Amino acid sequence: MSEFQEEPVLNILTDPKVYLVGQQVTDESVIAEFLSDHEVEKWTTDTEMGGEKLVEVAGRLCYMSFAKPRPGGNHAYIHHILEVGHGSVLEHAIFSLVITGVSRSLTHELVRHRAGFGYSQLSQRFVDESDCSFVEPKVIAEDPELHAIWIESVKSAQESYKKLSDGLAARMADIEDRTLRRKRAREAARSILPNATETKIFVTGNARALRHFVEMRGSEHADAEIRRLAVAVLRVLQEASPNLFGDYVLTDQPDGSVAIDTPFKKV
């Protein structure tokens, strides 16, 4: 074995990854019981996606319009909801996402979306960040000179974190509880880590809240990193629920990035 050990390679990320880990299912027998109790002999919809079905049930309940549905199925029904801005019924469709490859800077903005959202984020007090990844802005990554400055900065921060974490743990040796000792060391050492530090976050939101997020953060005027996340979230949601999110379109921008637009704003 060589006496010289290679320096650890920094893990640099530029794009987020979004996992759709949860969405709703419906209880068909209970829906049928409700309809029977209200003398609706038969009602069906052509979607098998739970959130889309619940949105339609909620909307039809407002007017008890189960017996005489308009033609066009669930797609036409939700399209009409978007046209008239009856957005409250969209709140009944729920989606849970795991998001990785995003910076702490991004999540500072993400968690400002409060209404209709729930969050659970990686804890830097419990998780050792000695081998953490960093999210580099593409505008920096594209310039070799600026990229070198950025790499030097995050590398220095990571090395300082390791030294602080180890030094603090040694200083707190009198704390018998190892978990508490590590937590105390890491919660202080994390102060040196930059906003570029990669994090992971579990997000649950209803369709109306998610539409608001996609619309606001997918705008050409939004921060570049969170706009990439909005595009990634939209692509996942459009695949899962085209009737609730299919109206959004991706538009190419002069700088080569992508923005999001829809004819049904602020539903």
pTM for the full model? Answer: 0.93
Q: Where, residue-wise, is CATH 3.30.70.3180 in the chain?
A: 95-122+198-261
217 belongs to the catalytic site? yes
Q: Where are the alpha helices (DSSP H) in the chain?
A: 28-37, 50-63, 73-84, 104-110, 138-141, 144-171, 178-189, 207-217, 224-240, 242-245
Tens place of pLDDT per residue across the chain (267 aa):
344 444 557 999 999 999 999 999 999 999 999 999 999 988 999 999 999 999 999 999 999 999 888 889 999 999 999 999 999 999 999 999 999 999 999 999 999 999 999 999 999 999 999 999 999 999 999 999 999 999 999 999 999 999 999 999 999 999 999 899 999 999 999 999 999 999 999 999 999 999 999 999 999 999 999 999 999 999 999 999 999 999 999 999 999 999 999 999 999
In the CATH hierarchy, which fold is given to the domain comprising 95-122+198-261?
Alpha-Beta Plaits (3.30.70)
Three-class SS of residue 184?
helix
> 3-state SS string over 81-138?
HHHHCCHHHHHHCEEEEEEEEEEHHHHHHHCCCCCCEEEEECCCCCCCCCCCCEECCH
Residues 83-110: b if buried by 16+ CB within 10 A, e if exposed = eeebbebbbbbbbebebebbbbbbbeeb
Residue 71 is given by DSSP the state T
Task: Determine the length of the chain.
Answer: 267
Q: Spot the catalytic one: 104, 217, 227, 228.
A: 217
Token pair for 205: 């939101």
CA 146 vs CA 52, 136, 139, 140, 243: distances in Å: 46, 11, 9, 6, 43
